[in-house]
Amino acid sequence: MNTPQLSVFLENKPGHLQNVLRVLADHAVNIKFFTIAEVKDFGILRMIVDKPQEAHTALRAAHFACSLADVLAVAMDDTPGTLLRLVDAFARRSLNIEYMYAFTDRHGKHSITIFRFEDPAAAARALEEEGYRILKWLSPGELQA
Amino acid sequence: MFNPDQESMRPSQRRELQLERLRWSVRHAYEDNPYYRQKFQAAGLHPDQVRTLDDLRRIPFLTKQEMREQAPYGLFAVPLKDVVRLHASSGTTGDATVAGYTRGDIELWSTLMARTIASAGGGAEDVLQVAYGYGLFTGGLGAHYGGEKIGATVIPISGGNTERQLALIRDFGTTMLACTPSYAVNMVDYAARNLPWFDFRKTRLKRGIFGAEPWTEGMRQEIESRMGIDAFDIYGLSEVIGPGVACECSAKRGLHVFEDVFLVETIDPDTGEVLPEGSQGELVYTSLTKECCPVIRYRSRDISRLYRDTCPCGRTLVKMDKIYGRSDDMLIIRGVNVFPSQVESVILQVEGVEPHYEIVVDRQGALDDVEVRVEVSEAIFSDELKVMSALSDHIAARMRATLGISAKITLVEPDSIERSAGKARRVVDRRKP
């Protein structure tokens, strides 16, 4: 099962990030993972949140350009070389990573990497074949093994 | 056709009518208005010297500046007691000009707007929602009187209050809408965002007459597909009479000018030279039957092209292309002439882009910089940066290829460009002092 990621278009201007966060706060949406990819004038805010559908509806109603997309959340040991081996699994299958971002968990033992693929199903198969743990998205919003 | 005799008249017969009326109109201006008399005298011209339609060329032009200077009553050719209505231009550029109407002028105007409604396929069975502004602006009352003239059921809601507009479309069974094209788009957007259950296709709305600002084929397609209607361009200027000077017919190819009551010429805007039909230039209007404010060779500053074809609708009236722009809206960017409407057509060719944009012109040192701000709609948003960057690169490349300008394309958040219930403001020119 894949993880829904919420993405929002943001102009690169003071106050614009607050506008998004205020909507999420008003709807008691908790952000689990968060990253911003930016070019000169704008950025794309990408988030894993506890209530993705509700957050998406609220942001649309507030007239933000936003979308929900399937991403893969993968748990790995937080040790040298693990990410290399993982990426190698994709490379051998010619699966192109659109983008990715990673976090270590609060205990520092595991890291969680979020991958965006054009074909998430093929990537998920590759991960299963290589024995990686794809984290499942469970209500009310914790990523669980 | 509301006036089949006039609208499909044999061209040679119409020219005779035009000449007879032109001689009346010139004489009326000369004899009943001191400003025109002094102008004609300064040009060494007497109305008796107008013997053919070509003699029109001997008459000096009337400019918007003169109209402003003569406001409010300097160009009236009847006493105020015979004037039943005043309107003023919406002041798109500079100070307002004032137009007065006799009872006969109102009758003429109503008839022209009835022709316009009929030309778009409307008639007595229609429920016409007039969402042009009512007031000094000619749009609202012009469409209103035309609607009543043809016997339609007129809803005089005026502009703004979008939620109410939509409620009336649904509850009153509106079949025909009259407003600016940008306001029509605003209505659709508003419904999509705030009233997701509202479906234009489940209403009785069939057609719309849209005008008062230049718009493109791309915008027509957007309105037609999203509202599920036929969208027609209508044209007019308050200095000439208001809406009802020209309109599209069922062919939707060019606007028929009501030349039995308005003579139209094309001139080179720089030299004033009269150009042959088929050339692009500034349109010049002469009223043939107006009483209160005869306009003799009024320079509209609207740029278009006049031509004649055999129109399937049966009208023999001269056609004009959709207005390319107003000569004073024309941007000169690093020596290249560009109309905002051309920028719009480039933007709207990109799938999913909505007509919410703004052109910002600035000068960096000696060079002009153009920025086109385009709103990111849900349809074009992607969570991948490369897709978004490719989109702005694509628009910039199209702009370069088709208009010859290098514009910086800035993607902006939805709703960040100002919405208007009337004429949309498309250009911010920071070069002017």
Please state, in angstroms and as integers, the Cα–Cα distance from residue A101 to each residue in A59, A83, A91, B57, B108, following that order: 23, 11, 17, 73, 70
Dihedral over Cα of B213, B219, B220, B222: its sign: negative
Percentage helix, strand, coil for chain A under 3-state DSSP, each rounded to 5: 30, 40, 30
Detail the DSSP E strand segments found in B293-406: 298-307, 319-320, 325-326, 331-333, 336-338, 357-364, 367-375
Distance from the Cα of A98 to chain B's closest Cα (Å) equals 7
pLDDT at A77: 85
| Exposed e or buried b per residue across A103-117, where buried means at least 16 C-beta atoms within 10 angstroms of its C-beta | beeeeeebbbbbbbb
Burial of B71: CB neighbours in 10 Å, binned 0-12, 13-18, 19+: middle
pLDDT at A141: 47
Residue written as token pair 């060079």:
B367
By Cβ distance, the residue of B377, B383, B413 closest to A11 is: B413
Instruction: Let me know whether A22 and A87 are in one domain.
Output: no
A110: contact with B, CB 8 A cutoff: no
Which residues are within 8 A (CB) of B367 and not within 5 positions of it... i.e. 6 or more apart?
B334
Instruction: Let me know whether A100 and A140 are in one domain.
Output: yes
Total count of domains within chain A: 2
Q: Is domain B1-327 classified as CATH 3.40.50.12780?
A: yes
pLDDT at B326: 79
Q: How far is residue B86 CA from its own chain's centroid?
A: 20
| Residue B381 to residue A9, Cβ atoms within 8 A | yes
| Residue B376 to residue A46, Cβ atoms within 8 A | no
Judge whether residue A145 has pLDDT over 50.
no
Instruction: Let me know whether A76 and A60 are in one domain.
Output: no
For B194, nearest residue in chain A (alpha carbons): A61
| Residue B411 to residue A41, Cβ atoms within 8 A | yes
The answer to whether B132 touches B176, Cβ cutoff 8 Å, is no
Instruction: Let me know whether A76 and A123 are in one domain.
Output: yes
Among A6, A7, A9, A33, the residue to mutate for chain B (most B Cβ within 10 A): A9
Q: What does the pLDDT average to over A67-86?
A: 89
Q: Which residues of B touch A5 (CB under 8 A)?
A: 383
Instruction: Let me know whether A19 and A76 are in one domain.
Output: no
Q: Which residues of A touch B415 (CB under 8 A)?
A: 63
Work out the pLDDT band at A107, boundaries 50, 70, 90. low
What's the rounded Cα separation, in Å, for the pair B73 and B80? 9
Instruction: Let me know whether A32 and A79 are in one domain.
Output: no
CATH of range B331-429; options 3.30.300.30, 3.40.190.170, 3.30.450.30, 3.40.50.620: 3.30.300.30
Q: Which residues of B touch A67 (CB under 8 A)?
A: 378, 381-383
Name the β-bridge partners of B88. Answer: B98
Q: Before B269, cis peptide (omega within 30)?
A: no
Domain definitions of chain B by residue range: 1-327, 331-429
pTM for the predicted model, two decimal places: 0.76
Q: Which domain holds residue A106?
A: 70-144
Max CA distance (Å), chain B: 73
Does ipTM exceed 0.90?
no
Q: Which residues of B touch A64 (CB under 8 A)?
A: 413-414
What's the rounded Cα separation, in Å, for the pair B420 and B415? 12
Instruction: Let me know whether A83 and A27 are in one domain.
Output: no
Q: Which residues of A touch B414 (CB under 8 A)?
A: 63-65
Instruction: Let me know whether A47 and A64 are in one domain.
Output: yes
What's the rounded Cα separation, in Å, for the pair B277 and B271? 17
What's the rounded Cα separation, in Å, for the pair B277 and B305? 7
Among A51-55, A62-66, B230-234, which range has the highest average pLDDT?
B230-234
Helices B181-194 and B217-227 pack at an angle, to 10 degrees, of 40
| Residue A42 to residue B377, Cβ atoms within 8 A | no
The domain that contains A104 carries what CATH number? 3.30.70.260
Give phi and psi for A121, each to the nearest 5. Answer: -65, -45
What's the rounded Cα separation, in Å, for the pair B423 and B149? 26
pLDDT at B391: 92
Q: What does the pLDDT average to over A93-100?
A: 92
Instruction: Let me know whether A23 and A84 are in one domain.
Output: no
Tokens standing for B107? 């009758």
| Residue B410 to residue A41, Cβ atoms within 8 A | yes
Instruction: Let me know whether A60 and A80 are in one domain.
Output: no
pLDDT at B299: 96
* Last-in-domain residue among A69, A87, A114: A69
The per-residue pLDDT string of chain B (433 residues; one tens digit each, 9 = 90 and over) reads 999 999 999 999 999 999 999 999 999 999 999 999 999 999 999 999 999 999 999 999 999 889 988 989 999 999 999 999 999 975 555 567 899 999 999 999 999 999 999 999 999 999 999 999 999 889 999 999 999 999 999 999 999 899 999 999 999 999 999 999 989 998 998 998 889 899 999 999 999 999 988 888 888 999 999 999 999 999 999 999 999 999 999 999 999 999 999 999 999 998 999 999 999 999 999 999 999 999 999 999 999 999 999 999 999 999 999 988 877 777 877 777 788 888 888 898 888 888 889 999 888 777 778 899 999 988 899 999 999 999 999 999 988 888 888 899 999 999 888 887 777 778 888 876 5
Instruction: Let me know whether A94 and A58 are in one domain.
Output: no
The domain that contains A29 carries what CATH number? 3.30.2130.10
| Residue B383 to residue A67, Cβ atoms within 8 A | yes
Bridge-based pairing of strands B336-338 and B331-333 is: antiparallel
pLDDT at A5: 94
Q: Which residues of B touch A46 (CB under 8 A)?
A: 383
Instruction: Let me know whether A114 and A64 are in one domain.
Output: no
Q: Which residues of B touch A63 (CB under 8 A)?
A: 193, 413-415
pLDDT at B90: 54
Distance from the Cα of B331 to chain A's closest Cα (Å) equals 25
The answer to whether B411 touches B374, Cβ cutoff 8 Å, is yes
Work out the pLDDT band at A76, boundaries 50, 70, 90. confident
